[in-house]
Amino acid sequence: MSGWVLGIESTAHTLSFGAVRSDGTALPAAIDTIRPTEGGIHPREAADHHRDVAATLLDSLMEMHDLALTELQAVAYSQGPGMGPCLQVGAGIARALSAAHEIPLIGVNHCVAHIEIGRSECDCDDPVLLYVSGGNTQVITRLDGRYRVLGETLDIGIGNMLDKFARKFGHPFPGGPVIERHARTYLEANPDASLEGLELPYAVRGMDMAFSGIMTAAVAMVHRGVPFDAVCWSLQEHAFAACVEVAERAMAHAGKSELLLGGGVACNQRLRDMCTIMAKERDGESHAPPRMYCIDNGTMIAQLGWLEWSSGRTTSLAESAVNPGLRTDATPIAW
Ligand code: ATP
Ligand code: FE2
């Protein structure tokens, strides 16, 4: 056994504990996600879920990797952005462990954690990140010592859009994988599929995107009698093309050749393929971390905590409050 840093993720529907050994080795996380049978996620209900499963989940992480609390060297948690009640559960557990074991506390930026786990897992150096999750859709890159948001959604996150569309037709959260399956079924039956007759609004405005209009139009298309599989395929093609277009422009503006995918929607194989094609056309490379590190996970929090701790930054109790609106560019990059 050896020293380790714990990472606690609790920004939204997922509670997860992950770890990084003191030599920087990332260990797969224990993850528990609340799945409401109907409706969206209620922050209070998600927070109650996190509180209920926390002790068992932490035990399962330690058992999985043979970790002992006596060897715990620092504890990192998501300080924001996210849902206040959910963030507070993670912060509370982190403060308690930090006090009980007299070890440093490190509040980290959830969005930056998605970048850092991708950078270390994919061994890429200075990428443009296409961060596509339920709540967030951002194109981010490092400029002047901070991760800057070059473009983002003007309304809902792309994952929320997919989840809402799926829910309208009876598919519970998470809707993204269901849509991916239906889109694949359509393509298998129609290998020469064309978007003619399946056009949806394509909302890219400068470097920003919007997704609520496309969702409304896709719902209306199904109601008009267009087969669900076909609409799923078209929805993916349009929504992913918008993200890839903005990411490509960001690479051109910032003069970067690496693209990195992060966030739950980055599990999608079609999006991964579109990014690979785009990067290749620019003589660049597209990277996507293993799927367990795309979705929200405690390992990415531990990884960023380990980096910050190694570069000498910790969080005092007075600064440890959660920040639901924490911006990606609020975190100086000291590592
Ligand atoms: P964040 O807090 O960063 O906004 P999140 O809480 O939405 O993240 P994630 O685990 O990063 O959580 O992402 C969940 C989203 O990913 C859901 O919207 C889900 O539908 C979507 N998703 C998961 N797998 C796929 C897939 N294969 N294709 C498309 N979307 C997917
Ligand atoms: Fe996330």
- The CATH code of the domain that includes 217 is 3.30.420.40
Q: Give the whole-angstrom CA distance, residue 150 versus residue 209.
A: 11
- Tell me if 308 sits within 8 A of 108, measured CB to CB: yes
Whether 244 and 312 share a structural domain = no
On whether residue 34 sits in a domain, the answer given is yes
Residue 220: which H helix or E strand, with range?
helix 212-223
Q: Which atom of ligand 1 is nearest to the CA of 236?
A: 29
Cβ of 174 closer than 6 Å to ligand 1, yes or no, is: yes
Mutate to test the pocket of ligand 1, among 162, 272, 273 (most ligand atoms within 8 A of CB): 162
pLDDT cut 70: percent of the chain above it: 99
Whether 179 and 194 share a structural domain = yes
Whether 157 and 30 share a structural domain = no
**What was the pLDDT predicted at 40?**
72
On whether residue 141 sits in a domain, the answer given is yes
Whether 18 and 106 share a structural domain = yes
Whether 99 and 144 share a structural domain = no
- Tell me if 138 sits within 8 A of 229, measured CB to CB: no
pTM of the prediction? 0.94
Residue numbers of the domain that contains 209:
125-293
On whether residue 20 sits in a domain, the answer given is yes
Whether 96 and 150 share a structural domain = no
Q: Which residues have CB under 8 Å from 327's CB, separation 6+? A: 81, 149
Which whole-number Å values give the CA distances from 210 to 47, 158, 191, 233, 324, in the listed order? 29, 8, 29, 18, 22
Ligand 2 centroid – CA 162 distance (Å): 15
Whether 92 and 171 share a structural domain = no
Each residue's pLDDT tens digit, 114-136: 999 999 999 999 999 999 999 89
- Tell me if 106 sits within 8 A of 95, measured CB to CB: no
Ligand 2 centroid – CA 82 distance (Å): 9
The segments of the chain whose pLDDT lies below 70 read 1, 38-39
Domain total in the chain = 2
On whether residue 184 sits in a domain, the answer given is yes
